[in-house]
Amino acid sequence: MPHLPTADLVARCRALEWLLCDVDGVLTDGRLYYGAGNQPLVAFDIKDGLGMKLAQRAGLKVGVLSGRSSPGVQARATEVGLDAVVLGREDKGAAFDEFLASQRVLPERVAYVGDDLLDLAVLGRCGLALAPADAVAEVRGAVHRVLARPGGRGAVREAVELVLRARGQWPPSAASPAEPSS
d(CA 136, CA 116): 6
List the domain range (segments joined by +) for residue 56.
6-166
Confidence band for 36, pLDDT divided at 50, 70 and 90? confident
pLDDT: which is higher, 172 or 110:
110
pLDDT of residue 39: 82
pLDDT of residue 35: 85
Residue 18 inside a domain? The answer is yes
Residue 159 inside a domain? The answer is yes
Give 5's contacts (C-beta < 8 A, 6+ positions apart). Answer: none
What CATH number does the domain containing 26 carry? 3.40.50.1000
Give 149's contacts (C-beta < 8 A, 6+ positions apart). Answer: 132, 133, 155, 157, 158
- Is the CB of residue 114 less than 8 Å from the CB of residue 26? yes
When the pLDDT of each residue in the chain is averaged and rounded to a whole number, the result is: 92
Residue 34 inside a domain? The answer is yes
Give me the number of domains the chain comprises. Answer: 1
CA–CA distances in Å: residue 145 to residues 90, 92, 118, 156: 24, 20, 18, 13
- pLDDT greater than 50 at residue 20: yes
> Tell me: the pLDDT tens digits for 86-101?
999 999 999 999 999 9
Residue 178 inside a domain? The answer is no
Backbone angles phi, psi at 35, to 5 degrees: -105, -160
Residue 182 inside a domain? The answer is no
CA–CA distances in Å: residue 152 to residues 13, 43, 54: 23, 8, 18
Verify cis geometry, omega within 30 degrees of 0, for the bond prior to 171.
yes
d(CA 83, CA 38): 29
Residue 44 inside a domain? The answer is yes
pLDDT: which is higher, 3 or 160:
160
Whole-model pTM?
A: 0.92
